[in-house]
Structure 1
């Protein structure tokens, strides 16, 4: 039933998008010629006729970017990013179309406005649809029924995570195992052994099968997949080694043999890296100019309230494990020795000056790191860099810790905007850092920067 519903939903989505295209061109025409009282070389009718060519093209473009597929698994920011990309291509198509139609009086501004309006309205429609579907799923509608084949730590974790978010719209029919096992109080039914799978799938109450076998059960994988395919039910693999896989595995191919790339880093792509670096340079230059009065006042304040240098330089470990000097406004009293390299700052650290406590609370002490960004030591967004002592300490204590050094460290990051900053869980911080590294997009950087601004650049118990 869920497949039929999905087809209907996809068709409705395509109709909505077509309607938005029509509405966008009308609004673009009206906005551009709002105060125009003369006669038009080309009226609105001509632009509406163009939609007979444009809408089929947009249908193909949107399908290419999977914008008419189920977004049950997709993040909203990823969806909006694809809407941007689709409309960029769509606007180029319209300009090419007009060129071949040899109509010189078509307004370029109307076409550009059309693109922006279409992005806005399509994005808003996706937000509204998601909210509607979430409310429906919370009430038990539009659910996708899953059957777990195999019960182990991985499938139990999957059940917990999916079950904790009813908005996803998943319902577990039960689990299959050689024998009934202890599920630690989880409310999932034992549906029988692996041999009962064919009869269960014949009842047509199961939409997807999640196969989660232990190493000693892998010999049965082929038969289970074959049973699912005969029944026409989609199967998904949840392997026992899933903790070693990235969130979005990249599968390469060598002579027809698939190879799973364990760490596919989007920023290894030259174009992605260039775009991120361009953002860093332009934004940090702008920020240095914008905040120059604050920088000057803070420098004077540091100098007048405590003897010592204005800028505090501390060694941190950056991209590819290369050390660099990170700049901050000095917020603590000058001390002999190197205790700051092996101690963790706390909220009520008595080494702070009164002025230092103020600039740390507002994160003004971090502003000199914009110079690190310009130099290329750091990025605006990325994992926070750490001191060599703690890098050596955590690399042996925390799995995957060293992966944070695959990209440039940042002034702010995904961990920080999610509350994992300062004297908080290093494990959770690393999880956020790895998510960011594996799922980087230009729009994710923009999102993190906006969240940093809107949530407040306020520093709670930040490290030294």
Structure 2
């Protein structure tokens, strides 16, 4: 017999997480004080700083981390790192705007932040190990009856098996058309939850399945068929008090939008500062080697499909395109200047787009912007093509570091690029952005497909 499964275990664990987060803030501060000053005690303004940071941590943890059931280990770690990053940024902003940064030891703050990150990751690991042990012993488990046999149901079974620490255990899987079996299981077995996952063409069965479950006291949930609809940033949004399922929504809402914005501005300013001598040299070279402007400007689609102007160093001879048509550069294209060929092959022609980032039109990382004419063409050929505009276009992206850079001369190539872009939108995180930047530095600049 199962032991004491509780419906409110998630809330209790989340509150414990919140308490431990604040303890980590204080523990890291004491450790940093001992490292920096040889005395673990915190005096005067330092204690006030730590108290303020623990309150910030409480607010950020509540916003970033609301449920501790389900999800992979990496997802939990990603939330912990996001929480730490948000707290660090808010703390630094407070020190700068209050003009009190000089009142504190930089070595103390740096050590404190580092120990805090390590402490948060250890804390999350400890919780997951304890919860997995409790689940194996039969505590805090949630037995589930899964009504549905499609790909999404198989995906749910895999997740429940791989995330055993979450406490969810799929005990039975039944075909939704076998209504008598559903009713028999609901009558004779003590399930905590029933998950109904029906294919898009079977949704008319939901009332019949609910009728078959009328004698069950279990929590009943409907799982959308997310493998039929390519759902971006799936979730529930309450509008005028009415819950609505998000089929296609931007993944940059709330604190994520702030994190992405801060990331873009900080990286763009640092990179422009470092590359300004290179940009000046390229500008002189472009002007000296062929007549025409230094920059090439092109209208492209940005966030939510809004048209923006994107800058690049001019790499072609000045020419006139026919109305409504933009021809991609091809191998051996006679329009490309010798200097332009080098700039395109090494991606140096795209350096002015860091100015677009500071203008707020683009992001460091995101789906690459296509010419407006290309969008009009491909949106009719590739389902969900326009979903890639649910985020600002980027200078580099997940598709580019996976080899899909340069000419897309076939529909298959463009479909592959769109698939990578949608994967990025669905799995966006600060860690993924930094990973893409790292890969771009070491393998993303030079590409044989860039003509």
- Two-structure CA RMSD over aligned residues (Å): 5.5
The verdict on how the C-alpha distance between 1:376 and 1:63 changes in structure 2, with shifts beyond 3 A counting, is: closer
The verdict on how the C-alpha distance between 1:29 and 1:234 changes in structure 2, with shifts beyond 3 A counting, is: farther
TM-score where L is the length of structure 2: 0.67
The verdict on how the C-alpha distance between 1:275 and 1:129 changes in structure 2, with shifts beyond 3 A counting, is: closer
The verdict on how the C-alpha distance between 1:124 and 1:295 changes in structure 2, with shifts beyond 3 A counting, is: farther
Mapped partners of 2:160, 2:449: distance in 1: 31
What residue number does 1:250 align with? 236
Mapped partners of 1:18, 1:312: distance in 2: 51
The verdict on how the C-alpha distance between 1:124 and 1:340 changes in structure 2, with shifts beyond 3 A counting, is: farther
- Aligned pairs for 1:117-266 (under 5 A) are 117-123=115-121, 125-126=123-124, 147-151=145-149, 155-159=150-154, 163=158, 167-168=162-163, 175-177=173-175, 193-197=178-182, 199-200=184-185, 202=188, 209-212=195-198, 214-223=202-211, 226=214, 230=217, 232=218, 235-239=221-225, 243=229, 245-254=231-240, 257-265=242-250
Structure 2 residue corresponding to 1:373, chosen from 357, 362, 369: 357
What residue number does 2:99 align with? none
The verdict on how the C-alpha distance between 1:419 and 1:65 changes in structure 2, with shifts beyond 3 A counting, is: same
For residue 33 of structure 1, report the CA deviation from its aligned partner: 0.9
SS at match of 1:80: helix
Structure 1 unaligned spans of 5+: 93-105, 180-192
Mapped partners of 2:436, 2:183: distance in 1: 51
SS at match of 1:360: helix
Q: Contact 1:413–1:448 (CA<8 Å) still a contact in 2?
A: no
- Aligned pairs for 1:40-439 (under 5 A) are 66=65, 69-73=68-72, 74=75, 76-85=77-86, 114=112, 116-123=114-121, 125-126=123-124, 147-151=145-149, 155-159=150-154, 163=158, 167-168=162-163, 175-177=173-175, 193-197=178-182, 199-200=184-185, 202=188, 209-212=195-198, 214-223=202-211, 226=214, 230=217, 232=218, 235-239=221-225, 243=229, 245-254=231-240, 257-265=242-250, 267=252, 276=260, 279-302=263-286, 309-319=293-303, 321-332=305-316, 337=321, 342-345=326-329, 348-351=331-334, 352=336, 355-417=339-401, 419-422=403-406, 423=408, 425-434=413-422
Q: Contact 1:212–1:240 (CA<8 Å) still a contact in 2?
A: no
1:282-309 per-residue CA deviation (whole Å, 9 max, x = no partner) reads 5433322210222233345545666665
Q: Contact 1:249–1:261 (CA<8 Å) still a contact in 2?
A: yes
For residue 425 of structure 1, report the CA deviation from its aligned partner: 3.7
For residue 70 of structure 1, report the CA deviation from its aligned partner: 3.0
The verdict on how the C-alpha distance between 1:114 and 1:294 changes in structure 2, with shifts beyond 3 A counting, is: closer
For residue 172 of structure 1, report the CA deviation from its aligned partner: 6.4
Mapped partners of 1:300, 1:57: distance in 2: 49
Q: Contact 1:148–1:211 (CA<8 Å) still a contact in 2?
A: yes
Mapped partners of 1:128, 1:391: distance in 2: 48
Structure 2 unaligned spans of 5+: 94-103
What residue number does 1:186 align with? none
Structure 2 residue corresponding to 1:447, chosen from 434, 438, 443: 434
Mapped partners of 2:292, 2:92: distance in 1: 57
Mapped partners of 1:70, 1:357: distance in 2: 53
What residue number does 1:189 align with? none
Mapped partners of 1:260, 1:235: distance in 2: 13
Mapped partners of 1:285, 1:61: distance in 2: 26
Mapped partners of 2:213, 2:78: distance in 1: 33
1:210-259 per-residue CA deviation (whole Å, 9 max, x = no partner) reads 4325133122242356455x2x46644234896165432232143x5433
Q: Does 2:14 align with 1:29? A: no
SS at match of 1:383: coil
SS at match of 1:408: coil
TM-score where L is the length of structure 1: 0.65
Q: Contact 1:91–1:112 (CA<8 Å) still a contact in 2?
A: no
Q: Contact 1:28–1:117 (CA<8 Å) still a contact in 2?
A: yes
Mapped partners of 2:425, 2:182: distance in 1: 39
Q: Contact 1:145–1:206 (CA<8 Å) still a contact in 2?
A: yes
The verdict on how the C-alpha distance between 1:290 and 1:143 changes in structure 2, with shifts beyond 3 A counting, is: farther
SS at match of 1:312: strand
For residue 417 of structure 1, report the CA deviation from its aligned partner: 4.3
The verdict on how the C-alpha distance between 1:416 and 1:224 changes in structure 2, with shifts beyond 3 A counting, is: farther
What residue number does 1:457 align with? 444
SS at match of 1:315: strand
- Residue range with higher mean Cα deviation, 113-122 or 238-247: 238-247
Q: Contact 2:176–2:209 (CA<8 Å) still a contact in 1?
A: no
Mapped partners of 1:131, 1:331: distance in 2: 56
Mapped partners of 2:69, 2:245: distance in 1: 25
